[in-house]
A and B are shown apart, each in its own frame.
Chain A
């Protein structure tokens, strides 16, 4: 375990939890802020969608959460010892979704009411949401990792991976599109996966150095 204080000074990876937070805290680093929203915005949005929110509501919620972060971020130093940043963000997101759904329930809106009640009842205290949240986060990390490693592969290797692993197309069909045998497709897919795994782990380590 590295002490967070020195770690942030040395590592200038924008994904580094500590350095990214330090950068967005001083309020003047717009790039860091964009980086931050780029990492966590889709996580919040995706989680909200998974909780049953419509596209527009989930987008509004994402804005709302990020605004809260931007105003509260100066206080983060205090929070750091109380848990991971991701956990903190999860709490904010979960609470806002719960409030959103509760507000819906109190104010019936036509037929949407039943759905909302169902959504609320299905997650009475939302404690089970952490797994979904975690999964959303991993997806986001995977997506970012893919952007980073894509350039390392030949185009047909990457396509083989993309078609089979992401789009779920059968290896035989993918093979026809890319011009590789099914076996080669499997090898290509697995090679990319192995590289992705490495990258995700590195990012994850940067992101939560204390874990």
Chain B
């Protein structure tokens, strides 16, 4: 018999929570709770004590990864790739392997896979744990997998099980794949090996995993690529083809889907060499028809005639055409209609569809799309060379070469002289009329955010390119090292030249003040390092080196001088002796040296793409910082000494942890080579200058772009901050030094 009781006191509710109520009372109260909504709510309220825990727990399962979520494979992949052993070896590489978005497809038949050892994987084939399906083509499936033996992520290309039943197809697949594996080139996806599942099972290729997208995907989302990008993609694809052709390999299926665009390196890679052939043959013999799209097929392929490497050039021409025009050169409602067009019809002139394409390029495409192989540009190497030349011009004409010269260069490359003359005259007229040629290429100052500031001073009229600029730590002087071997000292407030003196025979590569302003050093192409007494410009000491000295740095608290030379030698000097204190050598040429704020670590870098860290006390090697994909031109320690910034040919700015050697951050800084980097004394900002003529200021912590300064007519070689970081000096090829205000 239940007794009905009144609502419970707060104290009693608390006791119910901690179980300290007597058994009998507990039963009574619990019975009361059966029906009293008020007490039900109150006890819960007491339990969570005003926190939102009830709400949190109530929504616990919301938005959490479900059992078959992509979260779990992602977690697994992450776990593998960030595992200490792989993380230490190359942190940069780990970042590239995940395609931007490729949901796991459940509609693909994966029944050839063995059960996964771990539920996070889709399955297993040989010693590869399959994470997901990256795509499927006419020939088979592409999978992302983890190679449990070599502990790395790879792409697997599995021959369609249907095709694999055909013994001829299998043999051919393996043969072609082995041949493809012999191509080693940066513009070809590396084929690591050819494997068979379980000995005699399904053959598959183990390939390098590329982070990025195919040109096909790119074109699908971005109809119009910039012309510069088109030339770059064409150039790199041609280089990849040239490498394969040199080994006697023909691709046979060059198309946007087989041209991969790697995100991290701006690199183009060709894939699927020779493999189209395999699927084609089998299907042809079975059905009499070629399946898939013939949109990029060469006429001789369409007609079933013998094809060779020039067929690849036709296909690449068709790809270039599509990138410019937004559609392939030959289209039709059926494969047969397209084949007929390819064989008989002339493609519509490219410039009718896209008038912004220069004549020379339209002409190149026309020649590639010639019906007879003999009328085409004959080799991929020739095409690559031609495109590279034009690309280099596009890269530099806007600044490095005056407009008139650019026209002269252009004349030489365009085959059709009549057209060339016409372009030449037009450009010449426009160029002379008012600099149209320059102002119309690339983003001008107005187009770029943060470029509002005007220089506070322009120190021009130097007798050649400026290779190094330095602020006097103790005064208002700005010193610049000039290409003609002279040093100029400018009085900044007066904006006038204080003195000019001859310092070296040949280029003065670098000039530096010692931190306290007491010493001034220069280094030149003549292999000499000179210490000067300023302002009288007396040579206080000379150090001789057999090769050009490119890098120079002063110790911060000792008076040692660190130098790096074109022959890779590194030397430490004392102002008091003509003999080096220490010597060492790095591979390749040294372009720059930097010394840590505590004078413990010397960094050197140059043509071998590696930043070398040395114990500054004895020049023993400490660490190698690897990651740059090209020569390194400049280094800067941040004031904390733990971080080192490096820049170079690959356009990236990299920040390294000097104690662990880990890459902390890297980002693309400029449109082209970065020649110089400097850090403010307080370590908050970095400045860079590059051949694109821009000086940029970055938040050293986040990499956020704070300002972009335009003004140099050509590439910047050197940037430097003044002693309190309020001014930035930039100097370069145009022989001027510009002083910019820093916010």
A positions within 8 Å CB-CB of B? 27-30, 33-34, 37, 41-42, 45-47, 49-50, 54-60, 62-64, 66-67, 70-72, 74-75, 78-79, 107-109, 135-136, 138-139, 142-143, 146, 165-168, 171, 181-184, 186-187, 189-191, 193-194, 196-197, 200
A183 x B83 contact (CB < 8 A): no
Report the minimal beta-carbon distance from B362 to chain A, rounded to whole angstroms. 27
> CA separation between A72 and B52, bound complex, in Å?
33
A46 x B63 contact (CB < 8 A): yes
> CA separation between A54 and B104, bound complex, in Å?
12
Known contacts: A186-B40, A194-B48. The answer to whether A56 contacts B104 by CB under 8 A is: yes
Determine which of B48, B56, B88, B102 lies in contact with A139 in the assembled complex, contact meaning CB atoms within 8 Å: B56
A183 x B44 contact (CB < 8 A): no
A63 x B78 contact (CB < 8 A): yes
B32 x A183 contact (CB < 8 A): yes
A171 x B40 contact (CB < 8 A): yes
Is B138 in contact with chain A by the CB < 8 A criterion?
Answer: no
Is B91 in contact with chain A by the CB < 8 A criterion?
Answer: yes
> CA separation between A24 and B33, bound complex, in Å?
49
A63 x B44 contact (CB < 8 A): no
In the complex, what residue of chain B is closest to A54 when comparing beta carbons? B103
A27 x B31 contact (CB < 8 A): no
B75 x A143 contact (CB < 8 A): no
In the complex, what residue of chain A is closest to B26 when comparing beta carbons? A187
Chain B positions within 8 Å of A171 at CB level? 40
- B265-285 residues with Cβ-Cβ distance < 8 A to A are none
> CA separation between A107 and B46, bound complex, in Å?
52
List 15 extra interface pairs beyond A74-B660, A181-B30, A182-B34, CB under 8 A: A41-B71, A41-B78, A45-B71, A46-B63, A50-B63, A58-B71, A59-B65, A60-B74, A71-B665, A74-B657, A74-B659, A165-B57, A191-B17, A193-B47, A197-B49
Chain A positions within 8 Å of B44 at CB level? 186, 189-190, 193
Determine which of A59, A108, A183, A189 lies in contact with B70 in the assembled complex, contact meaning CB atoms within 8 Å: A59
Chain A positions within 8 Å of B81 at CB level? 67
Chain A positions within 8 Å of B53 at CB level? 138, 142, 193, 196-197, 200
B73 x A194 contact (CB < 8 A): no
A187 x B664 contact (CB < 8 A): no
Chain A positions within 8 Å of B61 at CB level? 166-167
Chain A positions within 8 Å of B643 at CB level? 75
- B50-74 residues with Cβ-Cβ distance < 8 A to A are 51-54, 56-66, 69-71, 73-74
Could you list 11 examples of A-B contacts with CB < 8 Å? A33-B79, A33-B82, A63-B74, A66-B78, A67-B78, A71-B95, A135-B59, A139-B56, A166-B60, A191-B17, A197-B48
Chain B positions within 8 Å of A66 at CB level? 78, 82
B83 x A56 contact (CB < 8 A): no
> CA separation between A167 and B660, bound complex, in Å?
47
Chain B positions within 8 Å of A135 at CB level? 56, 59
Known contacts: A186-B33, A186-B43, A200-B53. The answer to whether A71 contacts B663 by CB under 8 A is: yes
A107 x B56 contact (CB < 8 A): no
Report the minimal beta-carbon distance from B135 to chain A, rounded to whole angstroms. 14
> CA separation between A148 and B56, bound complex, in Å?
17
Known contacts: A59-B74, A62-B71, A171-B40. The answer to whether A190 contacts B46 by CB under 8 A is: yes
Is B623 in contact with chain A by the CB < 8 A criterion?
Answer: no
Interface string of B16-51 (1 = CB under 8 A from A): 111100000000011111110000100110111101
Chain B positions within 8 Å of A196 at CB level? 53, 57
> CA separation between A135 and B83, bound complex, in Å?
29
Q: Which 7 A-B pairs have the closest CB atoms?
A: A183-B33, A56-B103, A59-B70, A59-B74, A107-B221, A194-B47, A183-B34
A30 x B60 contact (CB < 8 A): no
Is B190 in contact with chain A by the CB < 8 A criterion?
Answer: no
> CA separation between A54 and B664, bound complex, in Å?
29
> CA separation between A196 and B54, bound complex, in Å?
10
> CA separation between A187 and B13, bound complex, in Å?
9
Is B149 in contact with chain A by the CB < 8 A criterion?
Answer: no
Report the minimal beta-carbon distance from B380 to chain A, rounded to whole angstroms. 30
